[in-house]
Structure 1
Amino acid sequence: MSRSPETGTPKESATVGVLSALGAFGIWGVSPLFFNAVSEVPVLEILSQRILWASLVVGLVLAFRGEFKRTLAFLAQRKTAWTMVLSTVLVSANWITFIYAVTSGQALQGSLGYYIFPLVTVLLGRLVLGESMSCRQTLALALAFVGVAVAIEGLGGVPWISLVLAVTFSLYGLVRKMAPVPALSGLFLETLLISPFLLTYLAGMEFFGAGIAFLDGPWPRSLWLMALGPLTAFPLFLFASAARRMRLSTLGILQYTNPTIQFLVATLVFKESLNPATLATFACIWCGVALYLWPDRREKGA
């Protein structure tokens, strides 16, 4: 296994990767609380504020670390620049779809999307990267698949929001794993590339008197929107860091902590009612997670 200054030794890399992944998924798990606080703001305005504040936060961190110029230099490399454009498109599509799901009253489909995402991620790891799986891990994924199938059946139709979320974020993880750009630099480039379009949109909204999100809103709501910057930057940095340090299949299975935390937030904080299909989904998926992560002395690596 190759080493780099960013990843360190294989054992240290695996540990940091797992901790980074759990940190990212934990923050994403509680993110509905933030979006619920600004639910009256139009979707595109939320997305714009989220990305612009994230760009500012990450840019300041890079400048403090003396890595700003080196980060911009990646755009001079043709292949790397196009890779970052692709990752920008994928993550932006994922963000706007999730925000739409939450603000349009379809949070259930949003949660389901992040249950399906690990299955797509593991599939990509197997088909694109050639990652092998044991019989035990295959059985674990089969249990998770059954849980997702139960959830889909409970919805009574094709959950296109869920599928878009799952596919876009799985492809994003694959692209970021293959991109030769450090996690923090990559996140800044992604937010930088989309920022001109979002600034144009916000300026147009203000010019025509249609903007309500920041300048014309109450200060508590403005503070919530500003908080979306670090809320966006930090977990994405952790996720990109984890994607570069660990097997894509392992990253995928750990991702189930995200929708599980969302499940707990929905039931304990938002007081949403449970149904048999939801409970069956939860039971199947976490049995699969436990089986996948069960220690096996014959297996090595993360």
Structure 2
Amino acid sequence: MNLAPTDLQSRRRGALAALVAFTIWGLAPLYFKAVGSVPPFEIVAHRVLWSLVFLTALLAFWRGFDGLWRLRREPRLIGLLALTSLLTGSNWLVFVWAISVERLIEASLGYFINPLVSVLLGRLFLGERLRPLQRAAAVLATMGVASRVWQVGQLPWIALFLALTFGFYGLLRKRAPVDPINGLFVETAVTAPLALAWLFWVARSGELHFGTDPLTDALLPLAGVLTAVPLMLFAVAARHLPLSTLGFLQYLAPSLGFLLAVFVFGEPFDAGQLVGFALIWLGLAVYTADMLKTSRAIAREQ
């Protein structure tokens, strides 16, 4: 597949956006450990509301609201963004629920399955084809994920739900003709009333954690930045990269999470897990090598 120089620059821009987004997501457990005293559902509500505050400020002081006014004349696009907001919202809720019931391993597995879902969706809906090395990388990653599923010992419905919801989110955002900031603003605004209602109900019951500890009060607003920035970057990446490439780059996030779990949080790790991770990382290395090889070949032709 030959790429024009502008296409190559676009993909490089998308790859950089994806790498930054997945790095933020991969290191996010450090933040959630810091606010570990706050119940997961309250954290999700704060993520939504502070994201809306951050995006409003971003539009007010940088981009302006003209794009949002134009969106009012596109009800189908608003409907599509409402659907994507439901996908991310349900993804967040299931993830934090899994943490609360101590099913984090199964939840984490979802983010290893998700890249394979993205590759499949790219093939089915966008007609994306894999080169031979990319197919080999997909086989290696599939073997690694299958090994992790086998270790779980049952149908990992939480992992499948997380993988499918975020996979379809990436597909729909790739096809949505809207810039990342305005699109994310609409998505956040759709779920903000639910988040506000939840916090109001928790406050009425006397169980609201916000306002009880200065450090927690300072950290919770950061949830908006840590939510909005990687989602905006992900939307940029989705517009500039094939869905299959975006999927493989996504392995960076759970890999960083794994390194944090083992070397920072001291979670147990055995040889069986090592086999699964090694196959996944080998697949990622093969896919990356193919990307570099293709980029160099295009550069030589210019």
Deviation at 1:85, TM superposition (A): 0.6
SS in 2 for 1:9: helix
Match of 1:24 in 2: 21
Partners of 2:123 and 2:107 in 1: how far apart? 25
Q: What is the total number of aligned residue pairs between the two structures?
A: 293
Residues 72, 189 of structure 1: 8 Å contact kept = no
Picking from 214, 218, 241, the partner of 1:219 is 214
1:229: which partner in 2? 224
Question: CA–CA distance in 2 between the matches of 1:297 and 1:245?
Answer: 16
1:12 paired with 2:33, answer no
**1:120-174 Cα shifts (integer Å, max 9, x gaps):** 0000000000001122211211110110111111111111211111000000001
Give the AA of the match of 2:250: Q
Counterpart for residue 201 of structure 1:
198
- Relative to 1, partners in 2 of residues 1:101 and 1:37: Cα closer, same or farther, differing over 3 Å? farther
Q: Which residue of 1 aligns with 2:88?
A: 91
Query: Amino acid of the residue matched to residue 11 of structure 2?
Result: A
* CA contact 2:199–2:208 (8 Å) conserved in 1: no
What is the aligned-residue RMSD (CA, Å)? 1.9
Q: Which whole-Å CA distance do the structure 2 matches of 1:180 and 1:144 have between them? A: 31
**3-state SS of 1:212 partner:** coil
Query: Per the alignment, do residues 143 and 197 of structure 1 end up closer, same or farther by CA in structure 2, a change over 3 Å counting?
Result: same
From 157, 160, 175, give the equivalent of 1:160: 157
Cα deviations across residues 70-106 of structure 1 (Å, max 9, x unaligned)?
Answer: 2243143111011111110001111112222334322
Long gaps (5+) in structure 1: 1-7
Instruction: Give the helix-richer structure, 1 or 2.
Output: 2
Question: Are 1:35 and 1:99, in contact at CA under 8 Å, matched by a contact in 2?
Answer: no
Please show how residues 28-43 of structure 1 align to structure 2 within 5 Å: 28-43=25-40
TM-score by length of 1: 0.92
CA contact under 8 A between 1:32 and 1:102: conserved in structure 2?
no
Contact kept? 1:35, 1:102, Cα under 8 Å:
no
| Deviation digits for residues 269-298 of structure 1 (CA, Å, limit 9, x no counterpart) | 101121122101110001111112223449
Greater Cα shift, 196-205 or 236-245: 196-205
2:18 and 2:237 in contact (8 A); partners too: yes
* CA-to-aligned-CA distance 1:223-263 (integer Å, 9 cap, x gap): 22111110001111110110001111000001000110001
Determine which of 98, 101, 122 is the counterpart of 1:101: 98
Tell me, in whole angstroms, the C-alpha distance in 2 between the residues paired with 1:40 and 1:75.
40
Contact 2:144 2:277 in 1 (8 A): yes
1:122-201 to 2 correspondence within 5 Å?
122-201=119-198
Q: Assess if the C-alpha contact under 8 Å between 2:174 and 2:235 holds in 1.
A: yes
Deviates more, 1:12-21 or 1:35-44: 35-44
| Residue identity matched to 2:56 | G
Q: Secondary structure at the match of 2:128?
A: coil
> 1:13·1:245 contact (CA, 8 Å) conserved in 2?
yes
Offset at residue 9 of structure 1 (A): 2.7
Q: Give the share of equivalent positions with the same residue, in percent.
A: 41
- In structure 1, the partner of 2:272 is 277
CA distance in 2, matches of 1:201, 1:102: 19
